[in-house]
Chains A and B, each alone.
Chain A
Amino acid sequence: MRKVIKASEGHLLTNGETYGRTIYLAEGIDESTFYEIPESEMPNLEEGEAEIEDYKEALSRLGVSENE
């Protein structure tokens, strides 16, 4: 039976990479690596944005708008 950990009200569990209210731990994962943070401290995980900015710069150099 796998271990399940749940965050308290208004909080999230994280190990610095994964964030969630309920975590079903994989076999061999130590639950002490997870700790609670307030939901308000959830980081922005919109990955890839920096790369998109590069793309916009490239379009700008070509004089092309994003919607063309």
Chain B
Amino acid sequence: MSIAENSLRLKQDFDDVYEAGYEKGKSEGGDTEQAYNEGFEAGYNNGADATRKILWDGIQNKGYAANYYYAFAYNRFDDSNFNPPYKIKSTDTNTGTQCIFYNNTVITDTKVEIIAAKNAGNCFYGMSNCHTIRKFTVNEKTTFAGTFTKATSLVNIEIGGTIGQNFNIQGSTKLSKESIASIITSLSETKSGVTLTLPEQAVNNMTYPFTYKEVIYNSWEELIATKSNWTISLA
């Protein structure tokens, strides 16, 4: 087929699509030009939503994906297209929670709850512009090697479940006092030989009294009082 024939074919295809869109818009939106535009936009948005749902159903296996290893790493997703409709619940105990956002420097908010399996190593490694990690639910066996390394902009994090392994978040110097309280109150009260490493700067910036989950804390010592089984390092 010649270039001219191709061009003609493309124009015909375009005209066909235009006509189809016009007719669809008219039938859904009415006869006036404004109604046509509204109908077309509504149809477009519905179509786009359906497409996104198909995409995310595939990525997350309709919420049942077991392994998110490197799923959103290296800026493949940003704030505009990272809109998971399901919780990120990884059940693969080997690599399921590992490196999920490894070196993603553009996502600023994880948007949904992340439920960790056994190994959360490097999960948020290098998320240098992320300010909010929504609920991060862990269990006593979850390990945290490099999980928050270079997460330097992090302000907000809510921990769900119980932290039972060494936990180091020292690079996140902007952590809010509520985030620090969430981490400390989630520490296991039965484990021994475990260490929590916090950013000294963020701890020194905490002001008292403050309330977290309906409990009033009047001092740092009061906040850590029930976790005497943990060595707490300020680095």
A contact residues vs B (CB 8 Å cutoff): 2, 12-13, 17-29, 45-49, 51-52, 55, 66-68
Looking at A19, A48, A55, A67, the one whose CB has the most chain B CB atoms below 10 A away is A48
B185-196, CB under 8 A of A: which get 1 and which 0?
Answer: 000000011110
Looking at B193, B195, B235, the one whose CB has the most chain A CB atoms below 10 A away is B235
Q: Which residue of B lies closest to A6 (CB)?
A: B234
Q: How far is the CB of B156 from chain A (nearest CB, A)?
A: 23
Which one, B125, B195, B229, B234, contacts A22 given CB within 8 A? Answer: B234
B contact residues vs A (CB 8 Å cutoff): 70, 73-76, 99, 102, 121-122, 125, 145-146, 149-150, 168, 170, 192-195, 197, 200, 224, 228-235
Are A26 and B231 in contact, with the CB atoms below 8 A?
A: yes
A26-B192, A67-B75 are known contacts. Are A12 and B231 too (CB-CB below 8 A)? no
Which residues of B have CB within 8 Å of A20? 170, 197, 200, 233-235
Which residues of B have CB within 8 Å of A45? 149, 168
* Interface of A: prevailing SS: loop
Q: How far is the CA of A13 from the CA of B232 in the complex (A)?
A: 12
What are 24 inter-chain pairs, A to B, with CB distance below 8 A?
A18-B233, A20-B200, A20-B235, A21-B200, A21-B234, A21-B235, A22-B200, A24-B232, A24-B233, A25-B231, A26-B229, A26-B231, A28-B192, A45-B168, A46-B146, A47-B122, A47-B146, A47-B149, A48-B125, A51-B122, A52-B122, A55-B99, A66-B73, A66-B74
